[in-house]
Amino acid sequence: MRGKKLLACVLAFAMLASLGGCAGKNGNGESQKEEKTSAVSEKSGSEKGGLDEKTPDEVTLNIMFRGSRPEGFEEVYEEFLKRTKDDLNIKLNFTWVENADYKEKLNLEIISGADYDLVYDALWLNLRVLAADDYYADLSEYFNNPEYPGLQKAFAPEVMENNKYYGKMCYIPLIRGYGNGVQVVHYRQDWADQWGIGQIDSYEKLEQYWEKAKSENILPVSVRSNRGFWQLFTSGAYYPGAAEAGIMQVASAGIDLFFYVKDGAVQAIAPSGAGDEAFKDFPEGWNYDFTVERYEKFADWAKKGYISPDSMTVSDEKMPYWAGEAASYIGTIDEAENNFTQMAKYSPEAVEGEFVWDDRIREMEDHAIVTNYMSNNGLCVPESSTKKDDTMRFLNWLFLSKENHDLFEMGIEGKDYELTEDGTYISLSAYPDSFPGYAFTWTPSYVTFSELTTGKNLEYRRYELKEESYVSQPVCGFAFDVTDVDLASYVAQVTAVSEKVSKTKYHGILSDGTRNYDSMREMLKVNTEECYQAGLQNIIDALWKQLDEHLAS
């Protein structure tokens, strides 16, 4: 496995100089391959994506899709063939793979050179390893290229640059907004009103709500095993104000490593839980172990009984909320649409509220959402594919117009959905709400919300789509490369130690499995010291070196 690092793309504050964020602007770069015969001009492909003069030979693309086949997909696919038979002349052969099986199957199929032309991948799946070993094709010639107007429209140059891996544009980022969603606590507004609390707009009111729920023998907050209290007290995993202070974090070996950048150079790196001394070289206001405070709060909430004693085994935190057995759960605002639908089945009397805990985001201020413009979801073309041009021809068609895009994401207009006067849609079948757009069609260029998204919720969703809502991290386009054999060994050794607390701390549990502790600060300090003994300093040194190289380039 090669140990090449991810090349630098764009630094944060330079990106923000003109518009407070780099995503969303289309570039006008020249084509990198003028002689390509399969390229599609806007004239010839305005709604179809066909070739200029004649219908190309029929070709079938093999696509590995993460998820089960949506109900009604056959009719959508037939409509696609009908619309494109005289220009694209492309057929699609989907292999539908259940979520639980996808990671293993993807790895086996790609490494074995199986006949696939397009696959879903992500950093949390196999992207980092497969990209490092050149299993995915470099697609840079197709993007920011006027010969592919659909791709140029849907994928801004800056976003593509910040999603390069190992110097290659081998990952097609699928995003709606430029962050990871507005974080919220979903709660029962009807109960909050009934209990005299009203709209929840502060942690104080949230605790009042949880206390009242407990007194009514209702579980205050349902949490999932791998999340616990999750991102509370942060903003999309970032601490409010940290980006502006030049601070960001990288997760490795089960530890959050915070680093401080000033004047284009790394000034300090400290692991969460290491204690105040480790943060002494951070800027004023941040020169202490600020990361531990929220875990102490989680421990306090757990002690008060706000989460289930069995929270570490919960796989579905939403069903108890839908059924009225839990008063809240923690997620993102885009989940509200599904909550409305599910609660109509299980708790018809329910009215949902959302507590947006970040003050600036709650007020929908400009430059409030921190982002690195990197996508959690994306598509890749295997290097072994013999139909790269045809694959990109299809994707160009898909993103060339809202009509093309919406056929796959929402279905057939008039049969699966209809549009309202305010631009939202009404579902006429199960298709629009069951197609997983995150795995195939997401782009900020074409977003349509359900009619169930109304009022303040709709305002927040539209706020997420605005370029000016975002502020960039101090460093963009960086991914810590741990594929070096020695470094990978240290990561494995440290992970074996950190995992004793890496989940329990999010549940407020003061135990590492070997002993109990009086405080979260004590538990994390002990665990961090053990991680240093297992090789944590080697990981920090490697991170510092890669960051310096990234910033220098």
Provide block-wise average pLDDT over 10 residues at a time, the chain (553 residues). Answer: 36 36 31 35 43 77 96 97 94 96 97 97 92 96 96 92 92 90 95 98 98 98 94 82 92 95 95 97 97 97 97 95 97 90 93 95 93 91 98 98 98 97 93 94 94 90 92 85 93 98 97 97 98 98 95 86
At 459 the pLDDT is 93
106 with 232, same domain: the answer is no
Closest CA to 425 of 448, 406, 407: 448
The secondary structure element, H or E, covering residue 346 is helix 336-346
Report yes or no on 13 lying in a domain.
Answer: no
502 with 401, same domain: the answer is no
216 with 171, same domain: the answer is no
C-alpha to C-alpha distance for 35 and 147, rounded to whole angstroms: 11
Sheet bearing 265-271, strands edge to edge: 247-252, 255-262, 265-271
383 with 346, same domain: the answer is no
> Which residues neighbour 284 within 8 Å (Cβ) at sequence distance 6 or greater?
none
Report yes or no on 10 lying in a domain.
Answer: no
302 with 403, same domain: the answer is no
At 58 the pLDDT is 94
195 with 328, same domain: the answer is yes
270 with 260, same domain: the answer is yes
At 36 the pLDDT is 37
Helix-strand-coil split of the chain, %, nearest 5? 35, 15, 45
At 337 the pLDDT is 85
Residue at token pair 């390893």: 129
Q: Is the pTM of this model over 0.75?
A: yes
Q: Pinpoint the alpha helices (H) of 422-484.
A: 431-434, 455-465
121 with 230, same domain: the answer is no
At 488 the pLDDT is 95
Which one of 415, 449, 483 terminates a domain?
A: 449
The token duo for 369 is 């959402």
484 with 523, same domain: the answer is yes
> Which residues neighbour 117 within 8 Å (Cβ) at sequence distance 6 or greater?
61, 62, 63, 381, 382, 385, 387, 388, 390, 391
Report yes or no on 549 lying in a domain.
Answer: yes
Closest CA to 442 of 176, 262, 215: 176
C-alpha to C-alpha distance for 553 and 551, rounded to whole angstroms: 5
At 292 the pLDDT is 96
C-alpha to C-alpha distance for 398 and 49, rounded to whole angstroms: 8
At 52 the pLDDT is 52
The CATH number linked to 441 is 3.40.190.10
C-alpha to C-alpha distance for 186 and 351, rounded to whole angstroms: 10
Report yes or no on 62 lying in a domain.
Answer: yes
> What range defines the domain where residue 307 resides?
181-372+473-553
Residue 237 near residue 355 (C-beta atoms within 8 A): no
